[in-house]
């Protein structure tokens, strides 16, 4: 007969993930030991190994669960019945608020993803692509021409937006004058005003003009 899980199994596992995420974010994956995680979580190594066979398994679950939760929240907020600008702002705010209580897990995702095995990275990349795809479609609603030429502009614009959002944890603090809702409006305004005016042709002309200027002696 299979052994039944304790009623608090998931709570204990989640507590271990939180401790491990904090240590990985602070000290790095390579410099964090199983012994250190067990000590910080106030459990024995034997109990830790009951939940996770290795540091690698802990790392995968930290990133995987963080992204599963993020994608779930963004999917729930993805409402194409909203006006394009409101649609984008809702998605941006959702991402920012999802990061609020997951800064350590988010930092681990950014800094330690390459430590995972190739198969595990494929699982994570698939979730990242799903998230990026939702936001890209919202940006395209602002300016359908961004999808021209195989999405030549849509991808870099989308990734630029995530560049702003993904690194906000380094400086953003909720006790400052601008809150997450206001910051979401600010970021939305930047991209609405910019993306709405972009065309592949305009970017090409500007790039060529810049290249000509740089080529002058």
Give yes or no for residue 3 having a pLDDT over 90.
no
- For the entire predicted model, the pTM comes to 0.81
Over residues 154-189, the pLDDT tens digits come to 888 899 999 988 888 777 777 778 888 888 888 888
Can you read off the two tokens belonging to residue 27?
A: 């000290």
Contact 191, 88 (CB under 8 A): yes
- Residue with tokens 């380094």, as numbered in its chain: 170
* Lowest-pLDDT range of 5-9, 61-65, 128-132: 5-9
Crossing angle between the packed helical segments 154-166 and 118-142, to the nearest 10 degrees: 110
Enumerate residues 6+ apart whose C-beta is below 8 A from 70: 95, 98, 102, 131
- Residue 168 pLDDT: 82
Residues 168 and 170: their CA atoms lie apart, in Å, by: 5
**Using one digit for the tens of pLDDT, what is the confidence trace for 61-107?**
999 999 999 999 999 999 999 999 999 999 998 998 888 878 889 88
Cα Dmax for the chain: 81
Average pLDDT, the chain: 85
Q: Note the pLDDT of residue 154.
A: 85
In CATH terms, the fold of domain 56-214 is Tetracycline Repressor; domain 2 (1.10.357)
Spatial contact of 13 and 51, defined as CB atoms under 8 Å apart:
yes
Most confident residue range from 27-31, 106-110, 141-145, 195-199: 27-31
Q: Which of 155, 125, 135 is nearest to 78 (CA)?
A: 135
């Amino acid at each position: 007969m299979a052994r039944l899980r304790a009623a608090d199994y998931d709570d204990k596992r989640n507590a271990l993930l939180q401790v491990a995420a904090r240590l990985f974010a602070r000290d790095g994956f390579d410099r964090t030991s199983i012994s250190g995680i067990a000590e910080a979580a106030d459990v024995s190594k034997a109990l830790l190994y009951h939940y996770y066979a290795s540091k690698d398994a802990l790392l995968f679950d930290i990133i995987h669960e963080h992204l599963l939760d993020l994608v779930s929240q963004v999917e729930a907020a993805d409402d194409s019945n909203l006006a394009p600008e409101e649609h984008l702002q809702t998605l941006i705010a959702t991402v920012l608020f999802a990061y609020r209580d997951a800064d350590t897990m988010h930092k681990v995702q950014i800094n330690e993803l390459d430590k995972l095995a190739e198969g595990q990275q494929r699982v994570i990349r698939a979730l990242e692509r799903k998230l990026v795809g939702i936001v890209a479609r919202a940006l395209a609603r602002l300016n359908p021409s961004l999808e021209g030429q195989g999405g030549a502009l849509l991808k870099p614009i989308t990734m630029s937006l995530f560049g702003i959002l993904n690194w906000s944890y380094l400086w953003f603090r909720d006790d400052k004058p601008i809150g997450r809702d206001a910051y979401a409006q600010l970021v939305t305004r930047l991209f609405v005003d910019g993306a709405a005016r972009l065309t592949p042709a305009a970017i090409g002309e500007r790039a060529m003009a810049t290249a000509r200027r740089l080529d002058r002696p």
